[in-house]
Structure 1
Amino acid sequence: MTAQTLLRRATGLSVSKSVAERAVGQRMEQTGFADSETYLHAITPAEMTQLIELVVVPESWLFRDPQAFYATVELVQERWARGRATRILSIPCAGGEEPYSMAMALRDGGVPKQAFSIDAYDLSPGCIERAQAGIYGRNAFRAQDVAFRERYFTHVADDCYRIIDALREQVTFRQGNLLQFDTATYSKHYDVIFCRNLLIYFDKPTTRAAIQNLSALLADDGMLLAGYAEVPSFCQNGFAPLQFRQAFALKKDSTPPAAVIQVAALPPARTLRSVPPAPRPRRRVPHRRQPQRRRARVPCRYSKPLCKRTCWPKRACWPTVASCAKRAKKCHAHLARVPEAAEAYFMLGIINELAGKMDLADDYWRRCIYLQPDHYEALCHLALLAERNGNSTAASTLKARAARIFQRRQASN
């Protein structure tokens, strides 16, 4: 059995061959094994835990995607007003940033501690240990407003802060795997589940199994918070979106089976490489020339891979403010048929930029590069937007990514 297969069976994660082999190599050096086959054959549960630690690299921060927390506070307040406490699950919880953010948001919302409970699970024992310690460095405080640090943290050393005991006691941390969760004991136990940016590491069968477990754990009137790139997967497996702006909240889908069959029987939508612009009079924008104009959208011809502006074709090829609503409607309609269409999200970013809605533009461009990490144009726009907002670190990172993509394109040409 290969290291890649072994890790996948143990965790459900689809790690690359190079990552799996590198982790095995590190553990072999530390344990004295000279042959990988012998090491894998002799691996124990304790050693498997150490191996998993090398491939699980949690990346999170406090109040990441804050709209999810605000939506949860609203739900908890409504239930407590009716005399109901809310049980919340965070899985995976990484280093505790998400469940602690939830506890802080509820405290800020005036919710009494008896109105809710928070359980947090993660595959990594190391993550659980860090979460229980509740000590965070500079990278954990990336939110635009970090005033919460003064309210809920004490300074311990250098750039490290520890969350106050009153909030640490509000969260119960345990090591656990969603795919091996005791769904029978905890059937419909949780009113709110945070499961964000986990399914992106799974293949389709594992994704279905994970969503099935989450559905079993969630109460019928409960709410699930997902990562924005994962919403289509949930909607394809028994969930429906809730109307919380940018929270990416879902509920169990109560659509009758007959309706599902009717939708499934419709002819499949043809996958488009890009979202076509709104129709124009043929004398101005001939239909036969549209593909050529779409391909003409290229980076500027300067020596540097990313400059202060991006050169596009003639203005007529881009949507005007008057046509933004119509074009946005077309983009959303296309995404309803093809949820993974990165180009549609890029076009929505452009449309919202033209309308002056920079927060929405930023969100759509991030969705674009999540689905298509080498989307050069989206990376350029995000880099320039980060510069405009004074975030030089993020701008430099995005520029570097765009530069690498630019160089690869030049080499391939």
Structure 2
Amino acid sequence: MASPPQAPPLHRIAAPRISAEDVVVFCDFFYKKTGISMDASRRYFIDKRLEDRMAANDCNSFREYLSLVKFQPGGAEMQALINEMTVNETYFFREDYQFACLTRRMLDEIADRKDPRRDRIRIWSIPCSTGEEPYSIAISILEDWPRASDFDIEIIASDIDTRALARAREGIYQARALHRVSPRIRDTYFRKLDGENWQVVPSLRESIDFGVINVSSPTQMARMRGIDVIFCRNLLIYFDDLSRRQTAEHFFDALNPGGFVALGHSESMSRISNIFVPRKFPEALVHQRPLP
């Protein structure tokens, strides 16, 4: 009895190979665009995301994909690449001692130099990721700063990841992101949705100004002026020394005299630049642009 005909073998199309030289070229390119420093130690992370974007664009080689990113009108693929390469992992009231410092110390100093009838207090959260930080800032002010109703307060929240910003504007979070939120605060500023999802109430969502800002772009950073407090936590750890110094200088220019910068707990402005004055409050160490 004759054997049945064998089906032809299936040929899997392999993902385009990314060489060690390609990784070096990519890291240099991405650094120049974003200020974020990566190297071969993150090879698996880089390869996987590059392969995904190359497949999405039917690119047969890394060089073909890089040409697309560099020369595509409008820069949609550059933004998609940034979205893939950035990590967004946070929760509400993370490092909340800095929010206590804001409402107990920094805001009073700032308010004492302003006229509530005409002056606005401006706070900037960068990178804001999916929104937990700027919403936490707003809730802290509403709950814990007695002079909140005396001033017009603007909270600006920015990131280079447009997907994260879309989630921030939507304001929907799973229960694990709210694990440090008390039931009273949760029920006041959030609404229960299906399953474990909660959404920030519309009035709070509409009070935050979300937008794209790349700290490595002098043009974009030049738009930021007249800021009183900057929260920039756990961003500079991804930069090299030059990018950190440049970012510190951008922040200095963005701040009003006497304005403050709050960094992440593992970051130190004293190792980056001496243009700020360290202020050690009971709640936290922050950095201040000197008064004239």
Q: Secondary structure at the match of 1:118?
A: strand
| Alignment partners' CA distance in 1, 2:174 and 2:285 | 27
Which is helix-richer, 1 or 2?
1
User: Is the 2:157–2:211 Cα contact (8 Å) retained in structure 1?
Assistant: yes
Amino acid at match of 1:66: D
Q: Give 2:141's aligned residue.
A: 106
Q: Give 1:52's aligned residue.
A: 82
Change (3 A) 1:140 1:10: same
Amino acid at match of 2:49: A
Residue 52 (structure 1) shift: 1.3
The 5 A counterparts of 1:167-316 are: 167-181=204-218, 182-187=220-225, 189-233=226-270, 236-252=273-289
Q: Secondary structure at the match of 2:191?
A: strand
Q: Give 1:5's aligned residue.
A: 28
Residue 233 (structure 1) shift: 4.4
Q: Secondary structure at the match of 1:46?
A: helix
2:174 pairs, out of 125, 137, 140, with 137
Q: Give 1:76's aligned residue.
A: 107
Change (3 A) 1:71 1:234: farther
User: Is the 1:192–1:222 Cα contact (8 Å) retained in structure 2?
Assistant: yes
Cα deviation 1:327-360 (Å, max 9, x = unaligned): xxxxxxxxxxxxxxxxxxxxxxxxxxxxxxxxxx
User: Is the 1:113–1:170 Cα contact (8 Å) retained in structure 2?
Assistant: no
Residue 247 (structure 1) shift: 2.6
Q: Give 2:92's aligned residue.
A: 62
| Alignment partners' CA distance in 1, 2:208 and 2:221 | 20
| Alignment partners' CA distance in 1, 2:77 and 2:150 | 39
User: Is the 2:110–2:258 Cα contact (8 Å) retained in structure 1?
Assistant: no
Residue 136 (structure 1) shift: 0.8
If asked which structure has higher relative contact order (CA below 8 Å, sep 6+), I would say 2
Q: Give 2:59's aligned residue.
A: 33
Change (3 A) 1:146 1:231: farther
Amino acid at match of 1:90: S
Amino acid at match of 2:100: Y
Aligned: 1:91 with 2:91? no
| Alignment partners' CA distance in 1, 2:143 and 2:127 | 24
Residue 80 (structure 1) shift: 4.4
| Alignment partners' CA distance in 2, 1:123 and 1:71 | 27
Cα deviation 1:95-153 (Å, max 9, x = unaligned): 11111001101111242284311011101001110110011112311327454211110
Amino acid at match of 2:83: E
User: Is the 1:62–1:141 Cα contact (8 Å) retained in structure 2?
Assistant: yes
Cα deviation 1:281-316 (Å, max 9, x = unaligned): xxxxxxxxxxxxxxxxxxxxxxxxxxxxxxxxxxxx
Give the RMSD, CA atoms, in angstroms: 2.3
Aligned: 1:120 with 2:146? no
Q: Give 2:10's aligned residue.
A: none
| Alignment partners' CA distance in 2, 1:173 and 1:234 | 30
Amino acid at match of 2:224: Y
Q: Give 2:189's aligned residue.
A: 152
Work out the percentage of aligned pairs sharing the same amino acid: 29
User: Is the 2:191–2:200 Cα contact (8 Å) retained in structure 1?
Assistant: yes
Cα deviation 1:216-251 (Å, max 9, x = unaligned): 101111111111221244663322221223433111
Which piece of structure 1 moves more, 120-129 or 242-251? 242-251
Which is strand-richer, 1 or 2?
2
User: Is the 2:35–2:216 Cα contact (8 Å) retained in structure 1?
Assistant: yes
Aligned: 1:21 with 2:42? no
| Alignment partners' CA distance in 1, 2:161 and 2:258 | 30
| Alignment partners' CA distance in 2, 1:101 and 1:143 | 11
The runs of at least 4 aligned residues of structure 1 exceeding 3 Å deviation read: 77-82, 144-147, 181-187, 232-237
TM-score w.r.t. the length of structure 1 is: 0.57
Amino acid at match of 2:64: T
Q: Give 2:5's aligned residue.
A: none
Residue 38 (structure 1) shift: 1.2
Residue 254 (structure 1) shift: 7.0
The 5 A counterparts of 1:246-395 are: 246-252=283-289
Which piece of structure 1 moves more, 91-100 or 19-28? 19-28
| Alignment partners' CA distance in 2, 1:137 and 1:171 | 20
TM-score w.r.t. the length of structure 2 is: 0.80
Residue 206 (structure 1) shift: 0.8
Q: Secondary structure at the match of 1:42?
A: helix
Change (3 A) 1:234 1:161: farther
